[in-house]
Amino acid sequence: MANLAVKGVRKRFGGLVALDHASIELDSGRITGLIGPNGAGKTTLYNVMTGFLPADGGDVFYKGERVTDLAPVQLVHRGICRSFQDLRLFLRLSVLDNVMAAISHQQGERLWSAIFGGRGQERRNRERAMMVLDKVGLADRASDLAEDLGLGEQKVLCLARVLATDADVMLLDEPTSNLDYHEMKRMFDLINGLAAQGKIICIVEHNVELIVNLCHYVYALHLGRNIAEGTPQEIVKNPKVLSVYLGERREGVPEWG
C-alpha cells in the first residue's frame, strides 16, 4: 500500500474539467515527478490533495486513512504540506519570521499553547526556525527581508517553510522554475537529501532534465487525465508524453549526479 494515494480525483471549474479521474501514488524515500503541459491540472491536484480545493469525486488516502477534503491545517498536522507555485512568502517580513510563521501555522489549532506558551514557546520556535534555516543554508540571511532575497533563495525559503512544519509528505510546485544552474543544483541537493531521510516527495516541474535526474518515478497528466507513468527514462520516451509535453525533443539528458 502506498503511503499517499490519490484515486480517481475529479475537479471541474464550471464547464472546464481540470481533473478527470487523476491518480498518483507517493512513497517514502521516493521522489515522484508530476509533469504535464500548462493547464494539465498539476496545481489543481495539489490543491485537492492539500485541502485548498474540495474534490468533486475520488479520494485521497494517507497511510490507509481517507483524508479527502480535510482542511489544509488538518493535513499539515497529519504531516502533509505543500509549497506554492507563486511562492506566497511574506515579502515584508524577515526570512526568520517567514519560517516562524510556518511553525505557528502548524501549531495553529493548539490555541492554548499559542496564547499561554508565551516567551518560552516563541524561543523554541525561533530556535527551530534557525535550525531549519541552517539546514537549507539560509541562516546568514535570517534577519533580511524576504523581498531582498534573489529568486533562488526565495524558493529555498519556501522549502524551509515546508520543512519547518515537520512534514513527512512534501508536495513541491515548481521549486526550480526560472532558477539558474547553481540555484537549481542547490535545490536538487536539498530535495535529494530530504528523500534520503525518508520524506515522501512529489515535485511538479517543467524542467525535464531535473525530473529525469531527480525523480524515481513520474506521472504525466494532460487535460486532467493520467496519460503515462513510469521511470523517468520510460517517460521521456513515451510517445504520448512526447506529443503533448516534450514535442519532438529527443536530445540526450545531461547528468546531474
Ligand X SMILES: Nc1ncnc2c1ncn2[C@@H]1O[C@H](COP(=O)(O)OP(=O)(O)OP(=O)(O)O)[C@@H](O)[C@H]1O
Least distance to ligand X, CB of residue 174, Å: 7
Rounded CA separation 28/2 (Å):
9
Amino acid (one-letter) located at 11: K
Residue closer to ligand X by CB (options 188, 219) is 219
Give the three-class secondary structure for 168. Answer: coil
* Stretch of 36-44, 59-67, 115-123, 154-162 lying at the interface with ligand X (CB under 6 A): 36-44
Please select the residue that binds ligand X; options are 41, 51, 79, 175, rule is CB under 6 A. 41
Q: Single out the residue of 5, 27, 29, 39 in contact with ligand X (rule: CB under 6 A).
A: 39
Q: How far apart are CA 146 and CA 166, in angstroms?
A: 21
Which of 2, 4, 6, 18 forms a contact with ligand X (CB under 6 A)? 18
Instruction: Round the CA-based radius of gyration of the chain to a whole number and report it.
Output: 18
Residue 87 interacts with ligand X (CB under 6 A)?
no
Q: Residues 32, 44, 98, 207: which binds ligand X (CB under 6 A)?
A: 44
Q: Residue type for 131, please?
A: M
Which residue number, 121 or 177, has a Cβ lying nearer to ligand X?
A: 177
The count of residues interacting with ligand X (CB under 6 A) is 12
Three-state secondary-structure class, residue 56? coil
Say if CB 221 and CB 227 are below 8 A apart.
Answer: yes
Examine residue 107 and tell whether it contacts ligand X (CB under 6 A): no
Asked whether position 51 contacts ligand X by CB under 6 A, the answer is no
**Contact indicator for 103, 125 with CB cutoff of 8 Å:** yes
Q: Which of 104, 11, 94 has its CA nearest to residue 52? A: 11
Least Å distance between CB 127 and ligand X? Answer: 36
In terms of Cα–Cα distance, which of 255, 235, 85, 242 is closest to 175? 85
Q: Which residues sit at the interface with ligand X, rule CB under 6 A?
A: 13, 16, 18, 36, 38-44, 85
Q: Which residues sit at the interface with Mg ion, rule CB under 5 A?
A: 42-43, 85
